[in-house]
């Protein structure tokens, strides 16, 4: 299954005015990097969100959220949000904001 082009476009639209964003094809989907660090991405029809360990653990308690695991080995601090968890633009914006809060703590690459 190819990645959701409509979700990728929604992310592009949400990030259009943010400086330091680069789009890159990764893991059979598309990723959006902030200052060289992965911020969010799309894999199949799921939103990938980089949150760090603490926020990532909290996020796993939310509905429609699961560990980021596409290889059989989950990545700590990363989650995948199912389509039902990002139906509305406000939901998507909230996930992007959480990811940005964490990624801005990382050194630029």
* Tens digits of residue pLDDT in 38-84: 999 999 999 999 999 999 999 999 999 999 998 899 999 999 999 99
Taking Cα atoms as reference points, which of 29, 40, 45 lies closest to residue 87?
A: 45
User: What pLDDT is attached to residue 1?
Assistant: 60
Architecture in CATH of 5-103: Alpha-Beta Complex (3.90)
**Under 8 Å between Cβ of 67 and 74:** yes
Beta-carbon-side half-sphere exposure of residue 62 (alpha carbons within 13 Å): 19
For 7, the token pair is 């979700």
What is the model's pTM?
A: 0.94
pLDDT bucket at 2, cuts 50 / 70 / 90: confident
User: What pLDDT is attached to residue 32?
Assistant: 98
């Amino acid at each position: 299954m190819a990645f959701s082009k409509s979700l990728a476009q929604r992310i592009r639209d949400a990030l259009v005015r943010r400086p330091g964003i680069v789009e890159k094809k990764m893991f059979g989907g598309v990723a959006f990097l902030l200052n060289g660090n992965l911020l969010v991405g799309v894999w199949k029809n799921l939103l990938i969100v980089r949150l760090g360990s603490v926020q990532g653990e909290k996020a796993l308690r939310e509905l429609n959220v699961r560990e980021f695991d596409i290889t059989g080995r989950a990545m700590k601090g990363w989650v995948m949000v199912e389509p039902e968890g990002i139906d509305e633009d406000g939901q998507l914006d909230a996930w992007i904001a959480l990811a940005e809060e964490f990624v801005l703590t990382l050194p630029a690459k």
